[in-house]
Amino acid sequence: MELRKIQDADVAEKTVLVRVDYNVPLKDSEVLDDRRIRASIPTIQWLLDHHAKVVLISHLGRPEGKVVEELRLDPVAASLEAILDRRVFKLNDCAGEVVSKTVAEAQSGDVLLLENVRFRREETINEPSFTHELANLGELFVNDAFATMHRAHASTVGVADHLPSYAGFLVQAEIEAIEPLISSPQHPYVAAVGGRKAQSKLGPLHDLAPKVDEILIGGGVAMTFLHAMGIDVGASVVDHKVLEEVGVIRRIAEQSKTSLLLPVDVVAARELSDESETVICSLHEIPAGWHAFDIGPETIRLFSERIIQAKMFVWTGPMGAYEHEAFSNGTKQLGEALAQSSAYSVIGGGETGEAMERFGVSKHASYISTGGGACLALLRGKTMPSLEALRA
């Protein structure tokens, strides 16, 4: 995929708008996980080294077009300032007369961070006048927010329609990491799909089924699949709205000769708590009223075997409620299986990437994407509006 790249742009003494993804977890006004902030540093530093004025645009959370005090970007600015070891000028809005004046008066070498762009309703609908306001702040546009590339928003697609636009170093790295899975897949090609909600994973499963050899299904997604197959999963969460689509995916997999591997045993409990009594049981022995919160040891063994034998591996969604120690083993052990595998592996960001970091197994992956949804959209062959805007 040929893109216009930041390193091909003349940025000296120019104001460069940079769309970054600082949608990071916060607690008590502090950033809990700064990986996405650190991922933006190569692009920001390159611009500073080439004497640009840098204006950063990001969102945080889902304020739905309203100002939500807890979603202001001040903690992000503090974290970025510490990482860059230089002043970051945080603004209290993302557009308007005060913002325009502040940006215009800033100097080359300054770093400015606009307020949460999703405080404006116009952002997510790519409203033309708001897009013009943003674009008028700069002379060039760099998109380095890979996790938002499947969104057609004002700060991604809209601005790119009005300014010379380039891919930042993170976007370039993401595309280069994912591209081999698309253009030259090696077999066995194995996918692992987990997470709490089945609905968000059915589209990817639908499109991945004809492309891979095996799909390992865990988490809440597996419970919905098993329920659709007539298996009693106790009180485990099941997405009843998508049961028909599960049948469609199973038929596609059968026609494609793709194996769908589901759990054969689970770790179950009455409630999601580290203090809960737990039991390891087969699928057919989940106690009435209990929930399956992780895959069991036999499933871990079966899934790990497939990962170890794979030549290519992509994983999105944890195998269980990994944030609780009692239900973390499935996700952790699949990460450990990568250490024994020679597979080229891409982990689809979000919770899976966070879990890999938490368990110290991220080093076993070939690449951990910063954007689960965007990574899957690219693998599925979906058109990504923000990426199309950067094509050479």
Active-site residues, by number, are 36, 197, 350, 373
* C-alpha distances in Å from residue 262, one per residue of 45, 213, 298, 328: 45, 14, 11, 18
Beta-carbon neighbour count of residue 338 at 10 Å?
24
Residues 6+ apart with CB under 8 A from 176: none
CA neighbor of 78 nearest in space, from 146, 124, 22, 139: 22
Check residue 154 and report its DSSP letter: I
- How far apart are alpha carbons 374 and 286 in whole angstroms? 35
Strand-pair partners of 214:
190, 259
Check residue 334 and report its DSSP letter: H
Instruction: Determine which helix (DSSP H) or strand (DSSP E) holds 201, and give its type and residue range.
Output: helix 199-208
- How far apart are alpha carbons 320 and 316 in whole angstroms? 12
